[in-house]
Amino acid sequence: MNTYKRHRFPPDIISYAVWLYYRFNLSHRDIEDLLAQRGITVSREAIRLWCIKFGAIYTRRLKRKHRGFSVVPFAQETFLDDI
């Protein structure tokens, strides 16, 4: 089943807008402005609805790719502490 069926914009634009919203915590207006600079006219309401509909999918993908932070100190830090 195509989840992007019956949408006016192609999946690339929708996924880019939703990715911007969840990855960088931008507002819908900021994303509208960023897309407008690229020549894509889309309303804030459309971006809001995309984030509601596709947000869970993208957040799962981002969390899966995020490795987290390491507790192991870097070699340089341990070397400088001994001096």
Q: How many domains does the chain have?
A: 1
32 in any annotated domain: yes
Report the pLDDT value the prediction gives residue 32, as an integer from 0 to 100: 97
Of 3-12, 15-24, 71-80, which range is least confident? 71-80
Backbone angles phi, psi at 79, to 5 degrees: -65, -45
**Residue 56 in domain:** yes
Query: Is 61 among the domain residues?
Result: yes
Domain that holds residue 53: 11-65
* Biggest distance spanned by C-alpha atoms of the chain: 65
What is the per-residue pLDDT across 17-57, written as a single tens digit (0 to 9) for each?
998 998 898 999 999 999 999 999 999 999 999 999 998 88
Is 15's pLDDT higher than 80? yes
50 in any annotated domain:
yes
Hey, what are 73's tokens? Answer: 């100190």
Residue 63 has pLDDT above 80, yes or no: no
Among residues 58, 73, 75, 74, the alpha carbon closest in space to that of 24 is found at 58
